[in-house]
Chains A and B, each alone.
Chain A
Amino acid sequence: MTNAPIVSATDLVRRYGEGEAAVTALAGVTVAFAQGEYAAIMGPSGSGKSTLMHCLAGLDRPTSGSVVVDGVELAHLDDRRLTALRRDKIGFIFQAFNLLPVLTAEENILLPLSIAGRRPDREWFEQLVATVGLGDRLDHRPSELSGGQQQRVAVARALVSRPAVVFADEPTGNLDSKASADVLELLRTSVDELGQTVIMVTHDQDAADVADRIVTLTDGRIVEDRRTQAAVA
């Protein structure tokens, strides 16, 4: 597990607003994530977890500092290139599932490839569907699926383009404990068996414990960065 970093941030600062009312969400964060790592970012509400994730994922631009994803410095990219980078190198899992209600589960899973105009690799798709366990639900619309099933579709969608890294923001926040366990398990599997890199924001200790590493933020600074039992095991 000593691979080269796939995502790294150096002296990341993100400030919102100007002057008196300015809020510093990130106050100088330097961190790196290796390929095949399953990392959890923890911290109290308002500590800057989401902001960090957004900056790492090219959804937000830091006030200063640099982010490198898969060897690409994000600061130099315009919106068009940044969008293409997100499309090709990054997978997203959101707390609110964010599936398109008008598409079937299968279409939702394939959406990133469809947008890129790429043909799906059928074998990979089958394997993915088998892993997330949605075989008989593929032609259902999201409204016909349970929350857990929807989030599993979202996981498959994040993995389908074999991104360099998958970001998950509170992926279990809207799920009951059984469904949460399933999704966390799924992410674990994707790291262990599919070699995926996963960076997950959560404030649930149980969820974090599934990860290899826990980075803890407070007031926009990393206050702790440690390996877990899972990583040792």
Chain B
Amino acid sequence: MDYEPVIGLEVHVQLKTASKLFCGCSTKFGALPNAQVCPVCLGYPGVLPVLNEKALTLAVMAGLAMGSTVALYSKFDRKNYFYPDLPKAYQVSQYDEPICLGGKIDIEVEGTRKEIRLTRIHLEEDAGKSMHFKGDTGVDYNRTGIPLIEIVSEPDLRSPQEAYQYLKELKTILEYLDVSDCNMEEGSLRCDANVSLRPVGEKKMGTRAEIKNLNSFHNVEKAITYEIERQKELLSRGERIVQETRLWNADESFTRSMRSKEAAHDYRYFPEPDLVPIVFSAKEIESVRVSLPELAQRRKERFMKDFALTAYDAEVLTAQKDLADFFERCLKYSKNAKAISNWMMGDLMRELKLKDLGIAQSPMSPEHIAGLIELMDQGKISGKMAKDVFLEMFGTGKSAQEIVSAKGLSQLSDSSQIEGVVKKVIQENPPSVQDYRNGKKNALSYLVGQVMKATQGRANPKMVNELLVKELEK
């Protein structure tokens, strides 16, 4: 029997705030254990949590950018369960009245566009972190109370590749909005996948497994692929799928049942009495909507229209906000958009990748890239020289002009100087000159090569060509 995978993703995104969701503790990554906690996030009796207004705005921005309906009324609820990383024995989350409902994310897989619907986006606080030691467990509450939004998709995804694209699109939107760092290593973006199979044509959903511990987009893709195969095999043997939580083991590439979570949960949600409801007017929501920054799709279209970039170039440059920003900063110093795009997508991205750097850590500034292009466009250096200058700029952080001046590299564009070399080359190469005069026009390229060699590649090739022809035709 043929089965169809049905996949839904739950993505937790850390909102980019300086302080926690309900208290003033810092959200900075990498602090010593429990250095960023206070009575509110430790759950001391009698404390009063107060909502961070920036977290609220960021959640609304994310919802609007994804086409969600922002609720005019929403509230917080307590989700009750016992776990050492949860000091209050409940997590403040949103249950039946989340901040955003619905929405969609457009993805493209193998040239086909598809709309993935969102169920909801809600605000909640993060839990702490457990460190497993030999014999006992250490708990660090620095993450407790960190503001998150959980973005829940409908089970509209049908393949691991679609799940991967969905995450990529989601991340692009969040980065453009600047609502999150989306750093999976630091835990500011986390993903759980619900995976089930059903016979092709069947409308009813099969029993699903929830896969946790997916720490990179590629692992999401791999874990779903593995899980689909695991369920297929069970079904083909006539066995049943058990509804359970499974952990992905990235080192050995398999999922295993998480026994501690097997018992069905009863979270006994109830309204959080310490936090008052959030009420918006349509006008307030509209004012956030109009303040949304330009998103990737629109920027791509603008790049194609304003700078005559190809769809492919515009797509690559706008897929990451900081890349697109870099490109636009280059344009302040050079109007040659095509050359900027070529240098960025070719040499710059290659060198950055080799050094495992992001565009934000580029040793070359937009001004430097543009400066190199300007020198080429003014005919001061050849394309070949530019490649070498580029590498040196990347290595030293110097400007193109500095390197060219220091090395005396600048292109020879003085016709009297080139003329002297041309005359000398003609004198030293009678056979080639003869060939040329006898109609073998390709002898010219040999002579050009000789001039370039004599000038260590510095002569302006166009001028060399012209002067040689002029001299030979005399």
Q: Does A pair with B?
A: no
Interface on B for A, CB 8 Å cutoff? none
Interface on A for B, CB 8 Å cutoff? none
